[in-house]
Structure 1
Amino acid sequence: MKLVKKILLVILFLLVLIVIVGATYLQYSKPDYEGEFTLGNLNKETTVYFDDYGVPHIYAENQKDAMTTLGYVHAQDRLWQMELMRRIAPGRLSEIFGGAALKTDKFFGGIGIDENSAKAVAQLDKNSQTYLLAQAYLDGINQYIAEGKTPIEIRLLGIEQEKFTLKDVYNIFGFMSFSFAMAQKTDPLLTDIRDRFGLDYLKDFGINGELGTQQLQSFQGKYKEYSEISKSVTSLLEASPVPAFIGSNSWVIGGEKTKKGKVILANDPHIMYSQPGTWYEAHIVCPDYEMYGYYIAGTPFPLLGHNREYAYGLTMFENDDVDFFQEEENPNNPKQYKTPDGFKNYTYQQKTIKVKDSTDVKLNVKTSQHGPIITGLLDGLETEKSVAMHWIYTQQKNRILDAVYELSHAKNLESFHKSIELIHAPGLNIMYGDAKGNIAWITSGKLYKLPKSVNANFILNGANGIDDKKEWLSFDQNPQAINPPWHYVYSSNNQPTPIDGYLYPGYYLPKDRAMRINGLLEQKNKWDKETVSKMIVDNTSATAQTIVGNMTKALNIANFSANENQALTILKDWKATHELNDIAPTLCNKWFYFYLKATLEDEFGEENFKLLLNTHIVKQMIENQTANAASPWWDNVNTKDQKETQSEILTKSYKEAIKSLENQLGSDVSQWQWSKVHQVTFQHPIGKVKLFSQFFNVGPFPISGTNEVINNQLFIYTDEAVIPVKGGPSTRRIIDFSDIENSLSVLPTGQSGNPMSKHYSDQSEMFVNGKFRKMKLNKKEIEATSTKLIFKPKS
C-alpha cells in the first residue's frame, strides 16, 4: 500500500512539474515589446515603439536598418505563420503534419509555383532596392530564428528551423495568388451541367451574358464528370492551414464629396478567417521614407498601406486567369498528346515529397504545352482524362516583388499607376487616394480575348488549335477610373462594364454590394470618417427584398400553420437588414438552403450540390432563378410522372425551413434571432484538435452581417443549427486625409500570432461589434502611449 502511495506521489509530482515547466515556458515565450537587444547588420541604433495594440512603429536612420528590424519583430509575433506560409506552395506541409497533408502537397508541389519562384529570384536585379531591402527583411527573420524564442507550435510539431530565402517570399505570394481558385471550383461543374443537361440549365447562372450555341459547341464529347476536379480542389483549400483570399470592398471618395474637402479611402479585403489573421501592421519611419503598412507573413513589402501623401488598398478583380484544357492523347502512345501540328511528347518531372514519420513519396508531374496535368495530381481522379491547367501566374514573367515594392514607394499617382502593370496575376482592383485630391481604381492582371466561339467557363479543347488562341491586351485596356467626374470610385468584386465592347470574363460576385456602395455614395455628400465607419459595417442587402418578394409571391399559403404565417409576415415587413436581433435573416437563409437543395440536388446529386454551394455562381443565380418561373431547375427529375412548378418547390422548401427552425430554436418565432445562428470562431490550425482549441482559437462570437452585404460575413448555405461564418473582412481601414494622424482600422483578432501575447485577441470584440482604433502616425502620441524596444548594432 505504501508503495502504491509513493508511486502516486511520484506521478503527481511529475504532473505538477510538467505543468510548472509548461507554464514557465509559455511565459518565457511571450514576445518582447520593451528592452534592449543587439541586432547584426544594423548601421545605426533603431527604436521600435509598440503601441497599445502591439503595432510596431520603427524609427530608423535608413530603410535597410528599418527592414532588418521589421523582419525581426515580425518574426517574433508571426514566425509560426511564416513557417506555414512558405511551405504550402512547394508542397512541404507533410514534413510537419505527416500523411494528412500529402494530398495538398501533391497538388501544390505539381502546379509549378516553386519552379516559377526559383526563376523569378534568378531574374531579380541583385543591385535593386527591391532585392537589397527584401534581403535585409529576411536577415531580420533569420536572426530571430537563430537567437529568438521558438514559437510553441514549432516546438509541439518538432520542426527543424531553416533560414528564410527570397524563394520563400515568392512562394508565399504564389499561394496567395492561387488561393482564390474560383476557376478550379467552377469550370468543371459548369462543364458537367452543359454536357449532362444542356444550355437551358445554364441560363439562370448568367455566366458572361447569354451563352450562344456556338459557345456551347466549343467542346463537346461524352459526359466525363469533371466535377471530381472541383471536389478535389475545394477539399484541399478547405483543409489548408493558410487562409484564401475571397473578395473585398473598397471605395475612395473625392474631396468634392467629403465634409472637409479631402480624400477618404475605405478598404476591407475579404479573406477566410483564421488565427492568427492575415495581416501584420507595421509603421516605418526613416529620413527618406514613411509607410504604415499591412504585411502578409514572410513578405517584406505591404500590400495595403498609407502615409501622409497617399493611401492604397485592394480587392480581388475576379477575372479569369486560369483555363483548363482536355488533352487528347495519342491512342498508340500515352506519352503523347494531340496538337494542330501533330502529336507532341509530354514532359515529365519527378519530385520527392518528404513525409513526417514515414517514407518519402515520389511525385511524377506530367506537363503539356498548356501546363501541368492536374488530373494526375489530385487523388481519386481518372488520370486518363489528362486535364491541363494553364495559369497566367506561372506562364508569364513574375515581377510581383518589384510591383509590391513600387506600390509602397510611389512618388505620385503616375508612378503608382505604372507599377501596377508589373502584376500579371493575380487580378486585383487596386484603389488609390492622395493628399493632392487624386482618386483612382486601376486593375492589375494580364488580360486577353478568346475567339467568339470559345467560352472559358468550360473545360476547353486542347487539340483543336482554336480554344487556346489568346489575343493579349495591352495594359491600357485594363478597366480603370482615374478622377472620374462623379468624384468617387469603388470595387466589390463586381463585373466591370464593357470596355471597347468587350466584357471581361471572370468569376465575379453578385451586384449586391456594388449596388449598395454606389447607392450610398451617389446620394450623399459631406462624408467624413465617422459616416464612412458606419457605412463599412452596413448590413443592409441591396437585393434581398426583391428576392424574398419573388419567393413569397409564389407561395401557396392555403395550408400554412400559425408559425408559417407569422414568419411570412416578418419576411414581408423586412427591410433587408442583418442585425443581431433581426429574425428575418434566420428565416431567409434557412429558406435559401432548402430552396437551392430542392432545385439543384435532384439533377446534380448531393455531393455536387454541396460543391455548387461553394461557388460564386450559386450566389449569382438566386435572383435570376427566383424571378424565372420557367427555369428547368424547378422540376424534380426524380418524379417521372409529374413536373413540379416554382410555386410547389418554393412552398415545400419554405415549410421545410420553418420545421427545421422549430426543431433547432423552439416553437416561438420571436426567439429566432440572427445572433443565435450566425457565429464566428477564428480557428488556429492546431486549434482544430479539441484538446488545444480553447488555448489557440478565438471565439465563438455572434456576429451581424451576411453574404453579400457591405459587412460581408461569408458562409455556405446550410441546415446546421449554427451557421459557421467562414470568412469576411481581414481588416477594416479608413484613411482620412483631412485627419491623417487619426485614421481608423481594426483587425479581426489581434496583431500577434503568439497565444501568450496580450495582443493575440485584444481586437476581437471590437471587430465583431463594428468598432475601430486609431492608426497612429504622430510621434509624440506614439512615444507617450507605447513601450520601447531598442536595437543596437552588434559590435
Structure 2
Amino acid sequence: MRLIVRIVIGLLVIAVIGLAATWFLLPSLNDRQTDGELALPGLQGPVRVVRDEKAMPYIYAESMEDALRAQGFVAGQDRLFQLEAAKRAASGRLSEVFGAGADDAIVNLDKEARVIGFRRIAERQMELLSPNALRSLTPYVEGLNSYITDHADTHPMAFSLAGFEPEVWTVEDLLAVTFFMGWGSAANFDAELIAHQVIQAIGEEKFQEIAPIVVNPDNPEAAPAEEETAATLSRWASKTGAPAAWTRGGWRQQGHGGSNNWAMSGAKSGTPAAVVTNDPHLDSRNLPGSWHPVALITPEVRVVGVSAGLPGVVIGRNDHIAFGVTNAYADAVDLYVETIDPDNPDNYMEGDQSLPFETLSETIRIKDDAAENGIREEKLAIRLTRRGPVITDHDPEKGDGAVLTMRWASAEYMDGELGLDALMAATSVEEALDAIGLAHMVSLNFVVGDVTGRIGRRASGVAPIRLRGDGMAPFPVVDGEDNWGGRIPAAEMPGEIDPERGWTGTANHFTAPADYPYVYTSYASPSYRYRRMSEIFNDKPTINAEESWAAQYDTLNVFARDIAPIMAAALLEDEDADIQQIGQTLQDWNHRDDLGEVGPTLFQEVMRHLARLTYEDELGPEAVTAYLSNWYVWQERFDAMVREGTSPWFDDTRTPETENLADMIRRAGRAAQERLASDYGDNIENWRWGDVRKIGFTGPLRLDGWVGSLTGNRDVAMPGSGETILRALYPYEKPFDSQWFASLRMTADLNDPDKVRAVLPGGAVGRTFHPHLADQITDWTDKDAQIYWWFSDKAIEENTQSVLTLSASTS
C-alpha cells in the first residue's frame, strides 16, 4: 500500500513539474525574435527596433519608407493572427478557415462582406492611388509579407491551433481592411432598416413621434428639420416592407460604440503647449485589443501612438502636434427602394427607363469536415444598380419584400490620397486639418493640438450633399433623379479652430452647427457624455494634463441625473415594500455609476423595462426589439419623453385603463425587481454594479472554460455605463454585458518632451500565453497608474528591454 501511495505521489509531483515547466516554456515556444539581427529585404539602410518594458516597438530608420517597411514586419511579429482575421473578414473569407459557424453566422458575415464589396471597393481605390499614397502602403505590405514568408517557424501558435496558415498580402488587401473598418463609422445603415420596420408596424405619422433625434448641446436647435423628415417618410410610407431579418442580426455596422476626445489649448491648460486626450470606444474584449502601439522615428519625423494594423499612427503625437479621434457618424450611407420593371423582373426602373441589374458571381469556400477535401462551396449572385448592391437578395429568411440597395459615399467619392502620412508629419493645427481633409475612407472626428497652444477639430470622411431626403429611412426611387449632388467639401465638414472657451472635443454627438447648410446626419450618440465633458471643462478656468487624464474616469451619469428622480418619485408611491426600496435607493443615489453602488443597476434595469413597456404595445414584439436594439435610435427621444412626462405613448393600449408615466415606471420597477432577484438573489446588496456587470476578456482563440483562462480569459469589474465618460456600453438585449469601452486611454501633453501617458485594455503582443498579451489590464482600470509611451531618445533608452537590428541582408 505504501508503495502505491509513493508511486501516486511521485506521479503527481512529475505531473505538477511537467505542468509548471510547460507553463513557463509556452511563452518562449510561442515567441518571436526581438534581439540580435534579422534580414528584411528591401531596406535602404539598417533599422533598429527597440522594445520597452511593455514590448512596445520603437522603430528607428533613416527614411519613412524604411520605417513603414519595418512597421509591417513588426506588426506581423506581434499581431499576425489578428491581421489575418481582419483581412479575411474584409474579403469575406472567414468561413474558409473557421467553418460556417453556429446558425451559419460566419458564412453570413462573409456574405455581407461580399455584398457590400469591401474588396471590390479596394480594387477601385487602388486604381486611383497617387504615387505618394503608394509610398505609404507598399513598404508596409512588403515588410509584413517578409515576416510571413521568411519566418514561418515563429508564426503565432494560434495558426497551428486553428489549423491554417497566413497568406501574403497585397495593397488591395490593406485597402479592403481600411474600408471594412470605415464601415462602422458610416452612420445609419442599421437605423434606416429599423426605421423602415417601425414604419411598417405603426405608419409614418406615428413613427414621427418616436423617430430618432440628434442634439448638439452647443446649439440644440441644430437638429434636422422635422418637416423634411416627415416629407421623406411620406414618400416612403406606401412601399412594401423589407424583411425583418435584416434588423435582427448581421447587416449591421458596429455603430453603437463611440469615443471621447478633447484638446485643451495652452491657455486652458495653463501651459505653453496644448494637451490632447482620447479614449476610443470599441469592442476590445478579444485580447490583446484593437490597437498596436508603435513609434516611428526618422530624421524628419518622430511619431508615437497606435495603429489599427495599418501603416503609420492614427492616434498619438509627433514633435509638433497631438491628435485623437472619435466616430463622427456623418451619414455616408443611404438605402434605396428600387422599383422592379413589372414587364421584366431582371430589370429595375430609373424613371421611365428600364435598366438591367449588373450581376456579379462569387464563390464562398466553407470549411466542412463532411465535404470532399474538407471544403464545400456556396455560390453567391450579387445584383447591383447604379446606386450599389442589392442587400435584400440575401435575406437569411428568404422573405419577399422590397428590393433595397445600399449606397456608400466613401466608396463613391474617391481620390488618390489617404491623408494619414501628411497628418503624421504635420507641424501645426492648420497642416493637420488640411491632412484630415484628405482622409475620405473613414468618418472620424479628429481633435488636434500643437506646441504653440493652438487647438482644432475637423471631421474626416465623405458625406453626400442630399438634394432630397434626410437619410433617416430608405429613399424610394420613383423619378430616376439622383438625390445626391456630390460630396460636402472637406473644408466644410463640421469643425472649429481655437474656440474662445479654450477647449474642443467630441463624444460621437451631433456636431454640426445650427446654420450648417447640409444634411450631415440624423444618427448620432445621445449627448450625455458631451454634456458632462462641458460641465467639467467649462466649470474650471484651467484643466491641466493630470485633470484631463482623470476626466476619462468620470462616472457621473447625466441621463440618470435627469431621469432617476422621476423614477424614484413614482416607485416610492408603490404599495410593495420591495419596490419602495428600489425607489428609496434611487432617490439616495448620487448618480455615479461606481462599482459599490446599487443605484446604477436599478436605474439601468428599470429604464430598460420602462422603454420596452412604453413601446411594445404599439410596435409589437419584433419591431420593438429592433427599435430598442440600437441605443442611438431611441435613447435621446425617450429621455425627452420621460422628462416631459405626458406622452400618450405611456398608455398601454392593451388595457382598458389609461396608464400614465408613473404607472409605467411602477410596472417597470416590478419587472426589474423580478429579473434582478431571479439572476442575483433576493438581497438587494448583491445587486451592486461591480457584481452584476463585468467585461469578459478572451484570448486570441476565444476558448472557453479553464483552457480559456490559461489563454488570457478574465472578467474585469468596470465602473461607468453607456452614458458616462468612463464608458462601458452593453447591448439592450444583453443587460450589463458590456461590449464597447475604452480601447485605449491617452493624454498627450505636448509640454512633456519625454513621454505620452497611455494604456491599453490588453497588451502589445497578440500571441497566446505571451506575457504581454494582457499585462496592461490592471493599469487600465486604475486612473492613478503611471504607464507611458516613451517619446524622447533619452526616455526610450532608459526603458529599453531589447534591440533588434533589421537590414537588407545579414552576415
Q: Same fold (TM over 0.5)?
A: yes
Do the aligned residues in 1 keep the contact of 2:265 with 2:275 (CA within 8 Å)?
yes
Q: Distance in 1 between matches of 2:233 and 2:780?
A: 46
CA distance in 2 between counterparts of 1:558 and 1:636 reads 18
Alignment partner of 2:732: what SS?
Answer: coil
Cα distance in 1 for partners of 2:256, 2:619 equals: 28
| Further displaced range: 500-509 or 649-658 | 500-509
- Residues 288, 700 of structure 2: 8 Å contact kept: no
Distance 2:118 2:28 in 1: 39
Output the amino acid matched with 1:113: F
Relative to structure 1, the CA distance from residue 520 to residue 676 in structure 2 (aligned partners, 3 Å threshold; closer, same or farther) is: same
Shift of 1:621: 2.5
8 Å contact kept, 2:245–2:396: no
CA deviation vs aligned residue, 1:685-706 (integer Å, no higher than 9, x gap) = 6215447422334320111111
Distance (Å, rounded) in 2 between the aligned partners of 1:414 and 1:719:
44
Secondary structure of the corresponding residue to residue 414 of structure 1: helix
After TM superposition, give the deviation of residue 543 of structure 1 in Å.
2.8
Q: Indicate the residue corresponding to 2:791 in structure 1.
A: 777
Amino acid at match of 2:138: Q
SS of the counterpart of 1:369?
A: coil
Give the drift of 1:466.
5.3
- Tell whether the 8 Å contact from 1:352 to 1:361 is kept in structure 2 after alignment: yes
Q: Measured at CA, do residues 14 and 529 of structure 1 come closer, stay the same or move farther in structure 2, by a change above 3 Å? A: closer
Residue 444 (structure 1) shift: 1.6
* Gap regions ≥5 residues in structure 1: 1-12, 238-242
Correspondent of 2:160 among 147, 150, 155: 155
Deviates more, 1:95-104 or 1:765-774: 765-774
CA contact (8 A) 1:45 1:790 kept: no
Counterpart in the other structure of 1:540? 556
1:93 corresponds to: 94
Q: In 1, distance between residues paired with 2:282 and 2:79? A: 18
Match of 1:4 in 2: none
Question: How far off its partner does 1:713 sit?
Answer: 0.8
Can you list the C-alpha shifts for 1:465-518, whole angstroms capped at 9, x where unaligned?
A: 357343643233221101122211111111122234555223111111111111
Equivalent of 2:802 in 788, 791, 794 = 788
Q: Deviations over 1:357-410 (max 9, x none)?
A: 2322111110011110011134224365210001112212154x6212222122
Which has the higher mean CA deviation after the structures are superposed, 180-189 or 71-80? 180-189
Q: Counterpart in 2 of 1:296?
A: 308
The 10-residue stretch of structure 1 (137-146 or 624-633) with the greater mean CA deviation from structure 2: 624-633
- Report if aligned partners of 2:700, 2:767 keep a CA contact under 8 Å in 1: no
Residue 135 of structure 1: aligned partner: 138
Q: What's 1:82 paired with?
A: 83
Structure 1 position 205, deviation (Å): 3.9
2: CA distance between counterparts of 1:396 and 1:434? Answer: 31
CA distance in 1, matches of 2:117, 2:732: 34
Quick check: 1:56 aligned with 2:57? yes
Give the direction of change, closer, same or farther, for the CA distance of 1:442–1:44 in structure 2 (3 Å limit). same
Task: Please list, as runs of the form range in 1=range in 2, the aligned pairs for 1:616-695 lying within 5 A after superposition.
Answer: 616-639=632-655, 641-684=656-699, 686-690=701-705, 692-695=707-710
Write the distance in 1 (CA, Å) between the matches of 2:19 and 2:688: 45
Structure 2 equivalent of residue 442 of structure 1: 458
Q: Which residue of 2 aligns with 1:742?
A: 755
Partner of residue 591, structure 1: 606
Q: How does 1:338-737 map to 2 (within 5 A)?
A: 338-356=349-367, 357-382=374-399, 385-397=402-414, 399=416, 402-451=418-467, 454-465=469-480, 468-470=483-485, 472-496=487-511, 497-500=513-516, 502=518, 504-555=520-571, 557-561=573-577, 563-615=578-630, 616-639=632-655, 641-684=656-699, 686-690=701-705, 692-717=707-732, 723-737=736-750
Q: TM-score, normalising length from structure 1? A: 0.91
Q: What is the identity, as a one-letter code, of the residue corresponding to 2:328?
A: F
Q: Paired residue for 1:192?
A: 197
Q: Is the 8 A contact 2:305 2:789 kept in 1?
A: no
Q: Tell me by how many angstroms 1:224 deviates.
A: 1.5
Instruction: Provide the rounded CA distance (Å) in 1 between the counterparts of 2:481 and 2:576.
Output: 56
Aligned counterpart, 1:281: 293
Displacement of 1:460 in angstroms is 1.0
Partner of 1:122: 127
Q: Does 1:228 align with 2:245?
A: yes
- In 2, the alpha carbon distance for the partners of 1:767 and 1:21 equals 29
Change in 2 beyond 3 A, CA 1:446/1:498? farther
Deviates more, 1:536-545 or 1:225-234: 225-234
The one-letter code sitting in structure 2 at the alignment partner of 1:738 is: N
| Rounded Cα–Cα distance in structure 2 between residues aligned with 1:26 and 1:773 | 23
Q: Which position in structure 2 is the counterpart of 1:29?
A: 30
Is 2:778 the counterpart of 1:757? no
CA distance, structure 2, for counterparts of residue 741 and residue 226 of structure 1: 56
* Cα distance, 1:353–1:577 mapped onto 2, change above 3 Å: same
Structure 1 residue matching 2:654: 3-state secondary structure: coil
C-alpha deviations, 1:314-348, integer Å up to 9, x for none?
11111211111111101121111111241111111
Asked if residue 337 in structure 1 is aligned to residue 338 in structure 2, the reply is no
User: CA distance change for structure 1 residues 53 and 244 in 2, over 3 Å: closer, same or farther?
Assistant: farther
How far did 1:244 drift? 7.3
Cα gap change, 1:435 to 1:381, in 2 (>3 Å) = farther
RMSD of aligned C-alpha atoms? Answer: 2.8
CA distance in 2, matches of 1:60, 1:757: 27
3-state SS of paired residue (1:545): helix
* 1:388 to 1:206, Cα distance in 2 relative to 1, 3 A: closer
Gaps of 5+ in 2: 1-13, 214-222, 368-373
SS at match of 1:160: coil
Q: CA deviation at 1:725?
A: 0.9
1:166 counterpart = 2:182: no
Q: Deviations over 1:56-115 (max 9, x none)?
A: 112222223222222222211100001011111221111111222211111111212211
Task: Decide which of 322, 331, 338 is 1:320's aligned counterpart.
Answer: 331
Match of 1:39 in 2: 40
Number of equivalences: 771
Equivalent residue for 2:73?
Answer: 72
Match of 1:7 in 2: none
Instruction: Measure the CA separation in 1 of the matches of 2:311 and 2:441.
Output: 19
- The amino acid across from 1:276 in the alignment is P
Q: Tell me if 1:259 matches 2:267.
A: no
Residues 621 and 534 (structure 1), Cα distance of their counterparts in 2 relative to 1, 3 Å cut? same
Match of 1:203 in 2: 209
8 Å contact from structure 2 (residues 136, 421) kept in 1? no
Of residues 136, 145, 149 in structure 2, which corresponds to 1:146?
149
Distance (Å, rounded) in 2 between the aligned partners of 1:402 and 1:292: 19
Q: C-alpha displacement at 1:649, in angstroms?
A: 1.3
1:176 aligns with 2:189: no
Structure 2 residue identity aligned to 1:749: G
Residues 244, 783 of structure 1: alpha-carbon distance in 2 compared, 3 angstrom cutoff: farther
The 1:569–1:17 alpha-carbon spacing in structure 2 relative to 1, beyond 3 Å, is closer
Within 2, Cα distance between the matches of 1:309 and 1:469? 39
| In structure 1, C-alpha distance between the alignment counterparts of 2:325 and 2:359, rounded to whole Å | 38
Q: Which amino acid aligns with 1:526?
A: T
Given that 2:712 and 2:773 are in contact with CA atoms closer than 8 Å, whether structure 1 keeps it comes out as no
